Amino acid sequence: MSDNDNIEKVNKNVLKHVDTNVWEIPTTYQPNMRVPGRLFLSDTLLGSLEVGAMKQVANVATLPGIQKYSMAMPDVHYGYGFPIGGVAAFDEDEGVISPGGVGFDINCGVRLLRTNLTQEDMMPHGSKHDLIEKLFHNVPSGVGSKSNYRASNSELADVFKHGVRWAVENGFGVEADIEHCEGGGCIEAADPTKVSERAYKRGRPQIGTLGSGNHFLEIQVIDKVYDEAAAKAFGLCEGMVTVMVHCGSRGAGHQICDDNIGILRKAAVKYGIDLVDKQLACAPIQSKEAQDYFAAMSAAANYAWANRQMITHWVRETFESHFSMDADELGMDLVYDVAHNVAKREEHVIDGIRKNVYVHRKGATRAFPPGHSDVPSAYRDVGQPVIIPGSMGTASYVLHGTQAAMELTFGSACHGAGRALSRKKADHQFDGNELVANLEKQGITIRGTNPHSLAEEAPEAYKSSSDVVNVVHDCGIAKKVVRMRPIAVAKG
Amino acid sequence: MNKQYEFIEHTADAKFVAYGNDICDAFENAALAMFEVMLDTACVQPLQSYDIVLSADGLDGLLHDWLSELLFLFEVEGIAFSDFDVQSIKLENKTDGEGDDNVWTLSARASGEALDVQTHGFKTEVKAVTYHDLDVTCDENGCTATVLVDT
C-alpha cells in the first residue's frame, strides 16, 4: 500500500450505495474477498475517507471465517492491517483471531460517572479550577508517571485474571460498579500465565494511571437530552455534572499486543493463511497460538478495567474531599464502562442460525440491544449505554444499543472521532498554551502537563464527533440519549 | 553530513525513513528518529549507557526488536536515549528444528539520561513499533530503514 493511500480520498463510484449512509465494497473490488465490505458513512464522512482505509476494510474481508461483512463505523480511518473503526466477526470453528483487529491499546475504553450536582451546586465549593487541579494531582497521568499503588507480581496476576472485581475487592469502588461494566469488567478467558515478563514489568508501575495522548479525565455537564425515558433509566438529566474517564491498558497492553503479533505472524505461515497484508497476522481461533493470544488479550482487557476502576475510586475520593460529602450523597454512581479496542466471544444470529463468533472491535464500541442479558437490569428495557467521548474541548455523547445493531453490525457502534490532522501537523499548527487560553474563554479549563501534547489534541485535529454520532443514530445502530459538554479536562 | 532520517506525513501515527552508509548507521538513525518523535534528542545528555544484544528473524524483525527494546528501556527504566552506537549486525547461520536460516544478531550501546519531560521537550509518547511498511533495504548507495510507530 502506498503512502498516498493515506491521503488520497475514495472515489465513491467504486462503491454500491445500499441505503442512506450505508455503502458496500463489492467482493469484486479486489481479489480474494470472501464477503463484501460495509461502510456506515454520511456523504460528508465518505468525502474524507482515505483510499487506504477502504482498502483495509477490503483486506479484512479476505480473512478465513469472516461472517457477513467487513464493517467500518462512521469514524473509520487508516490504521495498520485492520482500519481503526473496523468491526469483523469470525466463526469460532472456521475463523481466525488477529491482534491487529484489536489494536495495541487493548481495552482502550471509556466510562461515565453521574453525580447529583449541577454547575451551580459546584460554585460554593470553590472553582472548577481547584477541583480539576485536585483530580490532576490525585490521578497520575503523563509519560513516565507512576501509580500511587504498589502492586506485587502476584497482585498483578490477580488484576489480569479478575479485572474490575479485583479492584472492588481491594477497596476501589463498590459491588454495583461491577454490574455496570461491559461484561462485568472481566473476560473469563484471561490467563495471567500467558502474559510475558515484559508485560508484567511494564504493567506493575502503571496500574492506576491515566496515560497520555488522547486519554483524559473530564468533568462535563449534560447540555442536551434526546431521549427523556432512556436518560431517566440511565440516571441522567439535563444540567447534571458528569465525569468521564478515557484510558486503556497502558504499557502492559501494548506489550501483550506486540508479543503476540510476532507469534501470530509465524502462525499465519504455519497454518497456510495467505495474508494480503502482513499486519493481518492471525491464526485459526482453535489453534494454540490464537487461544494464547485471546487469553493474554483478555488479561490486558481486565487490566484496563481495573485501571479505570482505580481511577474512579480516586475521582470519588477527590469529589468527597472537595465537596465534604460522601460519594453516596453525591450520587456518584458508575453509569457504564465500555471497551473500544477488544475481541469478544459472543453469540449472534447469522442467517437465522445462532453462532458463536469472535467479534473484533478496533475503535468500535459494543452496542447491545434492549432485553440482552449482559445489559444491567436497570437498563434492560432501553439497551446498553454506548459512551462516545469527544476529542478535547468537544461534546461527548451517551447513546443506547438497538436490535438493529445486532442485525447490521454484530452489535457495534462508533467509538469517537478519528484524527483529521497528524500529531506532527497539529503540533505545528497550534500552540498548546494558546489553545488552553482559547478553550478557557469558552468555559473549558484544561489542566495538562505538556503544551505539545495539548496542541496535538486540538479540537480541529479531529473529525467531528457529532457527524459520526448522527450517522449511527440515523442508521438505527445506536440512538442518542444525552450530550455532554466539557467544563474541565485533566490530561497527561 | 547526509540526512539521517526524515518523517513521512501520516494522519494517525508517526512514520519515518532512516538512512545510513551501512546497516549499522541506518539502525542508529532509526533509533534517533524514533526518539525524535517523542522528544528533542539534542537536549538529552548521553550520561548512562545500556548494552543491548539481541537476535531476530530477518532484518525487519531485528529492526522491530531493536526499537522495541529501546522503548521498553525508556518506559521501564525511565531513560531518554539520544546516542546510539550499533557495533555490529551479523547474520547467524543457525540450523535449528524450525529451519530458520536468516537469524540476525545485533550488538549495540545506547546512551541517554533520566527522562525530564520539561528539559527534554517531550512531545508524543510512542506506544509500539509496528510491522506496517517495516522495511530494511541496502544497495550500493547505503541502507534505508522504514518504520511506522503507533503514537
Catalytic residue among A77, A180, A360, A415: A415
Q: In order of start, what are the domains of chain A with their CATH numbers?
A: 3-95+108-420+462-491 (3.90.1860.10)
Residue B127 backbone zone (phi > 0: left; psi -120 to 50: alpha; other: beta): alpha
Instruction: Tell me: pLDDT of B84 over 90.
Output: yes
Parts of chain A with a pLDDT under 50 = none
pTM for the predicted model, two decimal places: 0.96
Using the beta-carbon criterion (under 8 Å), do B7 and A449 form an inter-chain contact? Answer: no
pLDDT at A3: 64
Verify whether the Cβ–Cβ distance B9 to A77 is below 8 Å.
no
DSSP strands (E only) in A92-183: 96-97, 109-113
- pLDDT tens, A389-434? 998 889 999 999 999 999 999 999 999 987 778 888 888 899 989 9
B100 pLDDT more than 70: no
For residue B94, the model assigns a pLDDT of 58
- B72 and chain A: CB distance < 8 Å anywhere? yes
- The superfamily (CATH) of domain B5-150 is Archease domain (3.55.10.10)
Which chain A residue shows the shortest CA-CA distance from B123?
Answer: A452
Is the CA virtual torsion A425, A431, A437, A441 positive or negative?
A: negative
Q: Sort out which chain A residues have CB atoms less than 8 A from B119's CB and list them.
A: none
**Residues A296, A257: Cα–Cα separation, whole Å:** 9
CB contact under 8 A, A422 and B132: no
pLDDT of the residue at A75:
94
Q: What phi, psi does A313 have (nearest 5°)? A: -60, -45
User: Helix (H, G, I), strand (E, B), or coil: what is residue A68?
Assistant: coil
Residue A429, chain B, CB below 8 Å: the answer is: no
Residue at A279: amino acid letter: Q
Q: Residue A80: what pLDDT?
A: 82
Q: Identify whether the C-beta of residue A151 lies closer than 8 Å to the C-beta of residue A204.
A: yes
ipTM comes to 0.93
* Domain chopping of chain B, boundaries: 5-150
In whole angstroms, what is the distance from residue B137 CA to residue A203 CA? 35
Q: Catalytic residue at A17?
A: no
**pLDDT score for B95:** 54
